[in-house]
Amino acid sequence: MPEHGIHTIDTGYVRPRFDAAYLVVEEGRGAFIDCGTNHSVPVLLAALEQAGLVPADVDWLILTHVHLDHAGGAGTLMRQLPNARLVAHPRAAPHMIDPARLAAGATAVYGEAEFARHYGELVPVPSGRVVVAADGHEVDLAGRALRCIDTPGHARHHQCVWDARSRSWFTGDTFGLSYRELDGAHGAFILPTSSPVQFEPEAMQASIERMMAQSPQAMYLTHYGRVGDVARLAAEMHEQIDAMVSLAQACDGQPDRHRALVAALSEYYLERARAHGVALDDAAVLQLLAMDIELNAQGLETWLERSRL
């Protein structure tokens, strides 16, 4: 049995061990935390069966935020869970009830064909099945409290979920990315995610400190899996957020700011990977992080532009 009844589910989005959802089981009842895309729903239902549950045993789908790699399959999954309610941040809940703006934004970025291939049709969730989780809201899973707190920084509609039973946070994207392929001699390798469009460095720093105030034993990241050694990782997150901001400011004003920032971030992460003892060569590290470097650069540039207003 998984420790503390927490099942890590690879949603299959993009590549193996990239995008996780979680199933928490308590006294024969279940709660999903994040759900991947529409294409992930069969995987989640299979994981439910492997855990000895049926769809009617699921009471909750808790979303950390509504970026589509976390929440794109929510409406489709909820159709399969007759007794479940969906829990979302106050800024996120309206987008689950009416996902038209989410779909339009993602279609504008990816184009219709790519959007359909990656995400399919976004299905609305009936408003009567949506619970708006104000800061500190507690979800009751068969007597096990899962507490939602407001954690901006990656997105203003982001919440993290505290599980006192395991003394762990389900962190969505607020506590960064840690791919198992980059585990090195010193344990997990971590980096922040500043992806567009709502990166706020000071807010992210404060959210990390708020989570650390609980003295957590582990963090369950969407990208990817459970990590321990939390104090070290938190310190590295703080250091890197400051460094990324400095790199963005240094590249600001250059003729091709985006290209310069991608190059600066690439070299910075490579230096950290070498110091960490990551076994992959430089080319493999950059290939693994290519999408994240691009998104981090975009998010930092959006932050730079917003900071001028």
Sheet holding 29-33, edge to edge: 6-10, 20-26, 29-33, 58-62, 85-88, 130-132
Which residue in 190, 155, 153, 195 sits closest to 63, CA to CA?
155
Residue in the structure block whose two tokens are 């003892």: 277
Query: Backbone phi, then psi, for 280, in 5-degree steps?
Result: -70, 150
Query: Backbone phi, then psi, for 230, in 5-degree steps?
Result: -65, -40
pLDDT number for residue 111: 79
HSE, CB side, 13 Å, CA atoms: give it for residue 107.
12
Helices 282-307 and 257-276, interaxial angle, to 10°? 130
Tens-place pLDDT, residues 263-289: 999 999 999 999 999 999 999 999 999
- For each of the domains in the chain, give its residue range(s) and CATH number, in order of start: 3-233 (3.60.15.10), 237-307 (no CATH)
Tens-place pLDDT, residues 117-131: 888 889 999 999 999
Lookup: tokens for 105: 């934004």
Cβ neighbors of 39 (< 8 A, separation 6 or more) are 12, 13, 73, 118, 119, 120
pLDDT number for residue 296: 97
Tens-place pLDDT, residues 206-224: 999 999 999 999 999 999 9
Quote the distance between the C-alpha of residue 3 and its chain's center.
21
User: Helix, strand, or coil here: 66?
Assistant: coil
pLDDT number for residue 106: 79
- Residue percentage of the chain with pLDDT more than 90: 89
Name which residue leads in pLDDT, 304 or 109: 304
Which residue in 89, 120, 112, 101 sits closest to 13, CA to CA?
120
Lowest mean pLDDT among 108-117, 172-181, 206-215: 108-117
Going by pLDDT thresholds of 50, 70 and 90, the confidence category of residue 308 is: confident
Q: Strand 20-26 relative to strand 29-33: parallel, antiparallel, unpaired?
A: antiparallel
Lookup: tokens for 209: 């400190």
Q: Please check whether residue 204 is in contact with residue 242, taking contact to mean a CB–CB distance below 8 angstroms.
A: no
Find the helix or strand (DSSP H, E) in which 269 lies.
helix 257-276
Question: What are residue 141's DSSP bridge partners?
Answer: 144
CA dihedral 281, 176, 246, 204 (to 10 degrees): 180
User: Helix, strand, or coil here: 289?
Assistant: helix
User: Residue 109: pLDDT above 80?
Assistant: no
pLDDT number for residue 142: 98
